[in-house]
């Protein structure tokens, strides 16, 4: 049988209740601390998410800028190629003109020679 007086048993249960209350209080404190940590964690995650979105937007803008630069580069390259083609065309025309000019000079010289020969022939025949 239980030899302890009933008063001692009540004190024991009271102390157990106090211990459990302390444990419950500590658990509530830990839960509050965990909630605070979770809130801080959520803030960090949200901040990282915002930074990621910002970086993604920046990368998108940079990609667009690079595409724009590529377009300008290709247009400039096309213009350079067009100028090179135009230069080649102009050089070819200049060469053709010089050939025609040389032919004209030769024909002119032949014509002068023929006139001179004709003039001499006419002088002899007169």
At 73-112, the pLDDT tens digits run: 999 999 999 999 999 999 999 999 999 999 999 999 999 9
Per DSSP, 83 falls in state: H
Whole-angstrom distance, CA of residue 32 vs CA of residue 38:
10
Per DSSP, 80 falls in state: H
- Split at pLDDT 50, 70, 90, the class of 1 is very low
Whole-angstrom distance, CA of residue 26 vs CA of residue 32:
10
Query: Residue 14: is it exposed, middle or buried by C-beta count within 10 angstroms (0-12/13-18/19+)?
Result: exposed
- Output the pLDDT for position 124: 84
At 44-69, the pLDDT tens digits run: 999 999 999 999 999 999 999 999 99
Per DSSP, 26 falls in state: H
């Amino acid at each position: 049988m239980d030899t302890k007086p009933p008063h001692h048993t009540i004190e024991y249960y009271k102390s157990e209740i106090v211990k459990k209350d302390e444990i419950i209080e500590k658990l509530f404190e830990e839960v509050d601390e965990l909630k605070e940590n979770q809130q801080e964690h959520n803030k960090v995650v949200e901040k990282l998410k915002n930074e990621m979105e910002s970086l993604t937007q920046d990368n998108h803008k940079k990609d667009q800028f690079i595409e724009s630069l590529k377009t300008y580069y290709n247009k400039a390259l096309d213009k350079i190629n067009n100028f090179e083609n135009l230069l080649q065309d102009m050089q070819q025309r200049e060469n053709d003109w010089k050939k025609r000019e040389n032919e004209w000079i030769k024909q002119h010289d032949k014509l002068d020679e023929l006139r001179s020969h004709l003039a001499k022939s006419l002088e002899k025949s007169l």
